[in-house]
Structures are given as structure tokens and as C-alpha cells.
Homo-oligomer: A and B are copies of this chain.
Amino acid sequence: MARVSFRAQVLQAREDAIVDAVNRLLAEKGFDLMTVDEVVADVGIAKASLYKHFTSKEELAAAAMVRVLERALAFVAELQAKPGLKPLEGLKAVARWTMQVQLAGEMPSLPAQNSSLRAALVGHKVYMDRLLTLSDHLGEWIAAAQAAGTLRTSLPPEVVLYTLYARACDPVLGLLKMSGQYGHEQIIEMLLSTCFDGLAAG
């Protein structure tokens, strides 16, 4: 195990604080409306200092996304350690987890079609690695669930995967939360139900 100097630990802590702030602001206002000035004001450092750690606003967003993806990967690993877990249950658990993160105000929201950000993200090696790794794990569950007959085989795995990812930024969740009529657990169960069982009567 490599020794880590005290100085390096302080730097790491500062970077963590930056990513914390970025993550919260991204969840709150989204990428376009988040400004670097807000980030530095939140962390309590000078803007030039931030740019020593991260070279652009896009890289800030990528760092926040990487951290969320790694949390997701950790959650998936936890699930996979359970023996006898059915693939469909794994998929539902992940969908539930993304909604919990969203309700906690910890899910960064990136514009679906921002060109500058998309370009930066697809060119970001760590981000792409985490995203593809997660997709691989979910893809295995999807294939297994389809083989087990618990997931509809008429849908291409890709469509299932995208549909699950979309639950992480579903505006319906925000609307229901804002209405104040339902508890968090209730919202999650209803959205899980619409996602897996659909709107139509069985």
C-alpha cells in the first residue's frame, strides 16, 4: 500500500469538497445554469485554485458523474454478492436506487443534448470506462432475465438498458415530489410499477 503524504490527503479532501459542491449544484440547477463562481463560493476557495484541480467546467461535471457511477457500481457489486438474487430483482433494485439518489437531491442532471458537454464526456476516459462497465453488468442481468422469461423478449436489450437509465432523470419523479401528495417510498414504488408493469391493465 502506497504511503500518502499529509499534503496529498489535504489536496484530496479539497477535491472531494469541490466534487461535493458540483454534485449538489448539478442536481439542483443542472449543468447549464450551474456557474463556476457558485462552485467556488460554495467551497470557499478562489476560482483560480479550482482551475488547478479541474481544467474546465465540463471536467467538473465529468468528475461528478464518475463518482455517481462508482456509487452505482458499488451498489451493483453489493447485489451481486448476494447468492440466489434473481436478475429481474437486480434490475429493479438498481432502478430503485437511482430514484432514491434522485429524491435525495444527489443525482447530477446533465442536458441530454448539450454538444460541448457530450463531446467532453465521450472523450473522458474514466467516465466512459465506468459507464461501459455499469452497462455491461446491467446487460448481463437483462440477458439473464430474458432467458429466465421474467423480462419481455420482444424488447431489444438496448431498449431495456436505456429505459432503466432514463429512470435516473425521470421528470415524473420531480413532479410527484413537488405535488407533496406522496411519500418518497410511495413515489418510488409507483414509478417502479409504471416502468416494469406499464400503465395498461394486465
Which of B32, B150, B162, B175 is close to A32, meaning CB atoms less than 8 Å apart? B32
A194 interface residue (CB < 8 Å to B): yes
* A160–B109 CB distance below 8 A: no
Q: Which residues of B contact A85 (CB under 8 A)?
A: none
* A199–B162 CB distance below 8 A: no
Which of B112, B151, B190 is close to A200, meaning CB atoms less than 8 Å apart? B151
Rounded to whole angstroms, the CA-CA distance of A28 and B114 in the bound complex is 9
* B171–A169 CB distance below 8 A: yes
A53 interface residue (CB < 8 Å to B): no
Distance in angstroms from A198 CB to nearest chain B CB is 3
Which of B29, B153, B191 is close to A113, meaning CB atoms less than 8 Å apart? B29
A126 interface residue (CB < 8 Å to B): no
Q: Which residues of B contact A51 (CB under 8 A)?
A: none
Q: Which residues of B contact A160 (CB under 8 A)?
A: 199
List CB contacts (< 8 Å) of A54-107 with chain B.
88
A8 interface residue (CB < 8 Å to B): no
A155 interface residue (CB < 8 Å to B): yes
* B33–A114 CB distance below 8 A: yes
Distance in angstroms from A184 CB to nearest chain B CB is 15
A1 interface residue (CB < 8 Å to B): no
